[in-house]
Structure 1
Amino acid sequence: MTTPNPRRQLRPTDVKRLNRTWRRNTEGRLALILESVTSPFNVGSIFRTAAAFGVDTVRLAGNATPPSNPRVQKTALGTDRLVEWHEPVPVTEAVKAAKQQGFTVVAVELTADAVPLHEARLTGDVCLLVGSEDHGCSPAALEAADAVVYIPQVGRVGSFNVSVAAAIVVAETRRQEWASMDES
């Protein structure tokens, strides 16, 4: 008798079971603030990442492009229906609203007091704030945030695309939550 190949791709039913297991083991609320992220492709990609990692809400700030934009839809592929989102407001209002809902707001930016992502404590209810493609987080956003983290880079490029940076910090936030559950 032969045993099944453990490296075969999972069937859709198996994928649904696997994802359901991870969902049951995920308790922390996760949110995003997109400050002046204007590229429809970046916004769409961030929404796909948000839907995949169970982000509860995405708050748009500044002149961020909303997911209702037809060009966002080309990348989001309908995932904006799976994540609550709010029309753009000034970034300080978005941060205030997140804090009122009990989130710790963590900006992703290179600042003198920023903590490397892997050293940051990203547990509990976390709202990650990413800034525009060109200028990052505004001074007002950085002032309003509870903490600031950065993604260490060792290559010759000084920054990530905003949608890639958002995916990295969202994944690390979930990883920390799941790792803390293994410890308890």
Structure 2
Amino acid sequence: MRRQLRPTDVKRLNRTWRRNTQNRLAMIIESVTGPFNIGSIFRSAAAFGVDEIWLAGNATPPTNPKAGKTALGTERLVKWHEPIPATEAVKAAKAEGYTVHAIELTAEAVPLHRAGLGRDVCLVVGSEDHGCSPALLDAVDGVCYIPQVGRVGSFNVAVAAAIALSEARRQEWENLLEP
């Protein structure tokens, strides 16, 4: 009979995955203003082991009380920086040794699963309404998109961030034996 893991078993399982994870993950969040989106992105970032988040443009900080309701304290588990101009955030990420990929629909974007994310990578998500700014898109190393087959043209920004983070880890773990 299947049973859910006990909290101790979950910690043990997560520790095993953590030990098999070498790549660093970071994020740039540009002008995402919805506090619930910010909280959700921080929660996903903490779950996937993101090391650092740069807020850019007019992004809402995770200290916003509404963001905290969704983040559930996870914002303290990820190093984050107060908002700076988007191009400065890209420069900072590159200076830290990250390859920077924006998640955006552009003519030259590649599908997320072909983006080569299995290395130290900084993923960028943009505003709920307008996506990533043109200046940011010019500054990044690459652009990728999440393939969709349904009748909806885009994902919520927090969902897109979680999908991209998951794919980056999946690419890193692709050749590992299951713990």
Range of TM-score over shorter length? over 0.9
- Aligned identity (percent) is 75
In 2, the alpha carbon distance for the partners of 1:72 and 1:85 equals: 14
What is the number of equivalent residue pairs in this alignment? Answer: 177
In 2, the alpha carbon distance for the partners of 1:122 and 1:41 equals: 26
Partner SS for 1:57: strand
Q: Does 1:157 align with 2:152?
A: yes
For structure 1, which runs of at least 5 residues remain unmatched after alignment? none
Q: Deviations over 1:1-48 (max 9, x none)?
A: xxxx3x200000000000000000000000000000000000000000
In 2, the alpha carbon distance for the partners of 1:128 and 1:119 equals: 14
Q: Does 1:127 align with 2:122?
A: yes
In 1, the alpha carbon distance for the partners of 2:157 and 2:24 equals: 21
* TM-score, normalization by structure 2: 0.97
2:66 paired residue number? 71
Match for residue 31 of structure 1 among 26, 34, 40: 26
Matches within 5 A, 1:50-129: 50-129=45-124
Q: Deviations over 1:123-160 (max 9, x none)?
A: 21000000000000000110000000000111111000
1:166 paired residue number? 161
* TM-score, normalization by structure 1: 0.95
